[in-house]
Amino acid sequence: MSEQNGQTRVKVENLQKLFPISKGLFRKSTDFVYAVDGISFEIKEGESLGLVGESGCGKTTTGRVLVKLEDATGGQAFVHNSDRDEMIDVMDVESPEDRKEFRKHVQMIFQDPYESMNPRRTIYDIVAEPLKVHNLGTTEEKEQRVVDLLRLVGLTPPEPFLFRYPHELSGGQRQRVAIARALVMEPTFVVADEPTSMLDVSIRISIMRLMLELAEKLGVTYLYITHDLAVARYMCDKIAVMYLGKIVEMAPTEELLSNPMHPYTRALLSAVPVPDPSYQRPQVEIEGGVARAINPPDECRFIERCPFAVDECKTAHPNLFDRGNDHLVACYLVAPDGSWTGRERAKLELRS
Amino acid sequence: MTDIQTRAAEGGLGTERSHSEVPILEVKNLVMNYEIKAGMVSAVEDVSFTLPKGHSLGLVGESGCGKTSVALTLMRLAAANARVLGGEVRLDGENLLELNDEEMRQRRWDDISMVFQGAMNSWNPVYTVGEQIREAMDLHWEPRPSAAEARAKTEELFQLVGLNPEMIDRYPHEFSGGMKQRAVIAMALSCDPKLIIADEPTTALDVIVQEQILEELRKIQHEFGMSIIYISHDIAVIAEITDLMGVMYAGKLVEFGDTVDIFARPRHPYSWLILSSTPSITGPRRQLAPLEGEPPNLLDPPSGCRFHPRCPFATQKCTDEEPPLEEVEPGHKIACWNYEQVPVGILAEAE
């Protein structure tokens, strides 16, 4: 775990991504899925932020927007350019040259190591591709760089791997190759989208160890996207919980786990299975599954599943603000000092 | 009383431990290989365990460790190239491996039913869910149920798994993932089986929905004394819902016993490493154990103990001789020559 007071590496302000729902060829779409709706966060040097939530909450879309696989429909995002020590405006990255330059600093590791590699290219081609694109080094230098990286990600001895194809490797080895490919340009910022969820227990652990080690060694900053809070606990300094396109709670990892404030975070935490048969879990307070955020009305996004909702929750989606200890929550029922007011508020409403 | 309750009452089942009666399932020295061009894949090697009535058993292990192969062999549904080379599978005393195909067909669903991995995606989209459950009942109930009986039973099952009975006449696309999975469980219960095998019943579901489904399964086991075998790669899920567990590695059962005991003190090096390093949101942050390497190729499994190439406690004996599964404490069996070397309890991170 690293120091909190480093330089800002990633800054996201009010990021928004809407997907139009197709109505047919000639009709203009008026319905939108609010996949990511006005989220803001900052990641400091060497720190990693976990983006956690159920499927459909917008966590993957956020990651894809930040690596420019999708274009945002609103808001701003900046990523640090370590060569020039300045921030790159992600929204300004448009031309092929810009994108090329951008990819030196920002990379992504995908969930499925079986589908994120060209089956007809050798491991050497896959890892060396960014070097070829940027025309860096002679053939010997490239080869040396690839060998070094394969060794770094634990594929040892590296030489026999160079001219193998992805199908000859196991899932864990492929994910190591994907990590090597992401790191070959020495990026400042890596978006890791569920990099271990397809892997088996023992292999998952070794990939998690590897990613932590590399973060320390190379000073990489991760945005770690996962549905698994237990994994996030190990990989991230800070966790942001998303629900229907909004960040509903964000805090340093242990603070969030020991003192969850938002009703959704509390439900999520009490539903996580615990590898301890003697553990008495708290009751899960909410029911139902995640809805889709199609043209959501101006009210708290969580209102439908929230067992504590009061009238104020229907007014607008609450703002995310700090309740002390760098603990941000978006809920009307959490007082500015972080205390829970749900019960009193419900009583007040009953009386009136 | 429902049929399930009647059956539970007749059997005198409950949640208390009673190991003396005839176990619902007894697997003895089961050996199963898959025959492929390159040779025989040793998928299940000399696996033995016993499940008393009314209990839940979890089989954990990584992909390819043989946990699903064990289940498919119990159901006699393993692929055409599967060869059962030895052993017994006794369901309520009767060896399923000796039955002919027609007899086995009758046992399936009636006596032993299975919730397959990803079953929620195998509903036929052009029939209602109720019609598909009815089909199972028509084939297996003696005598065939009348429309009213089938309806009443399906409604009862829907309520049991937490589905609105009005959904019976709906099509699968109108169900969410969690609802489809609940309906699969209802279908598995439709012929009042003695034993249910649930293969990764909640994988691919979100945590909150997963917790709800596990709760329903827990209820079915505890309230009705159902015997359930869970197969999962997720150790935390096994901790939540089983009273007994078996840890499999490379086709072998390496540890078997009471779930609480094994979690408190895993004795096989593999279980110890895996349990120690399972990330958890509670307790101190654990050390992520250094388990290097990958599971072996079962076309040519390692000599002696199959875990020896990755085991931190391995000695020459482990390379030479295969350790038997032996009881080291009442009800707690392990297959390891050096289990005494394994530290007590799990690793905690000193931070």
| Mean pLDDT, contiguous 10-residue spans, chain A (352 residues) | 68 95 74 93 92 91 94 94 89 91 92 86 94 89 93 89 92 91 92 88 85 90 94 95 96 96 94 89 75 85 90 93 94 92 80 70
- Does one domain contain both B198 and B99? yes
**pLDDT one-digit tens code per residue, B276-309:** 888 889 888 877 776 778 889 999 999 999 999 9
How many Å apart are CA A264 and CA A137, to the nearest integer?
A: 51
Question: Domain boundary residue among B202, B220, B242?
Answer: B242
Distance from CA of B239 to the nearest CA of A (A): 5
For A229, name the nearest residue in chain B, comparing CA atoms only. Answer: B281
**Contacting residues of B for A227, CB less than 8 Å apart:** 206-207
Give the number of residues written for chain B.
Answer: 351
Q: Cβ(B329)–Cβ(B323) under 8 Å?
A: no
Contacts of B237 in chain A (CB under 8 A): 273
**Listed residues B222, B242, B262: the one ending a domain:** B242
Task: Provide the residue type at B330 as one letter.
Answer: P
Query: Any idea what the Cα angle at residue A224 is, between residues A221 and A229, rounded to 5°?
Result: 135
Is the CB of residue A258 less than 8 Å away from at least one CB of chain B? no
Domain membership flag for residue B288: yes
pLDDT at position B119, please?
A: 82
Q: Is residue B343 a part of any domain in this protein?
A: yes
Residue B332 — pLDDT band, cuts 50, 70, 90? very high
Q: Are residues B134 and B52 in the same domain?
A: yes
| DSSP symbols for B173-226 | GGS-HHHHHHHHHHHHTTT--SEEEEESTTTTS-HHHHHHHHHHHHHHHHHH--
Contacts of B214 in chain A (CB under 8 A): 273
Residue B164 lies in a domain: yes
Using 50, 70 and 90 to split pLDDT, how confident is the model at B311?
very high
Assess B263–A contact: CB distance below 8 Å, yes or no: yes
| B154 and B301 part of one domain | no
pLDDT at residue B3 tops 70 = no
Residues B208 and B285 in one domain: no
Contact check, Cβ <8 Å, A54/B207: yes
Tell me if A332 sits within 8 A of A70, measured CB to CB: no
Residue in B62, B273, B281 nearest the CB of A269: B281
Minimal CA separation from B217 to chain A, in Å:
14
Please indicate if any CB of chain A lies within 8 Å of the CB of B288: yes
Instruction: Report yes or no on B230 lying in a domain.
Output: yes
Residues in B closer than 8 angstroms to A280, CB to CB, are none
Predicted confidence at residue B17, as pLDDT, reads: 46
- Verify that B230 and B332 share a domain, yes or no: no
- B101 within some domain: yes
Position B9 confidence tier, pLDDT thresholds 50, 70, 90: very low
pLDDT of residue A352: 66
> Are B234 and B305 found together in one domain?
no
B112 & B183 share domain = yes
Q: Tell me if B251 is assigned to some domain.
A: no
Enumerate residues 6+ apart whose C-beta is below 8 A from A53: A59, A227, A241, A242, A243, A268
pLDDT given for residue B255 in this prediction: 97
Same structural domain, B165 and B39: yes
Residue B266 at interface with chain A, using a CB cutoff of 8 Å: no
- CATH number of the domain enclosing B229: 3.40.50.300
Convert the pLDDT of each residue in A261-311 to its tens digit. Answer: 999 999 999 999 998 888 888 877 777 667 778 888 899 999 988 989 999
The answer to whether B129 touches B175, Cβ cutoff 8 Å, is yes
Q: Are residues B188 and B136 in the same domain?
A: yes
Domain boundary among B225, B242, B259: B242
> Which residue from B259, B281, B289 is facing A277, i.e. has the nearest CB?
B259
Task: Examine the pLDDT at B342 and tell me if it is beyond 80.
Answer: yes
pLDDT exceeds 60 at position B123: yes
Q: Is A229 on the interface with B (CB under 8 A)?
A: yes
- Whether B124 and B184 share a structural domain: yes
The token pair at A248 is 């509903």
B277 touches chain A (CB under 8 A): yes
- Asked whether residue B16 falls in the same domain as residue B165, the answer is yes
Residue B64 or A334, more confident: A334
Q: Does some domain include residue B280? A: yes
Total number of domains in chain B:
2
Same domain assignment for residues B174 and B40: yes
Domain of residue B299: give its range: 273-351
Residues 6 or more apart in contact with residue A256 via CB below 8 angstroms: A238, A239, A241, A249, A250, A265, A327
Is residue B252 situated within a structural domain? no
Residue with tokens 């006699």: B76
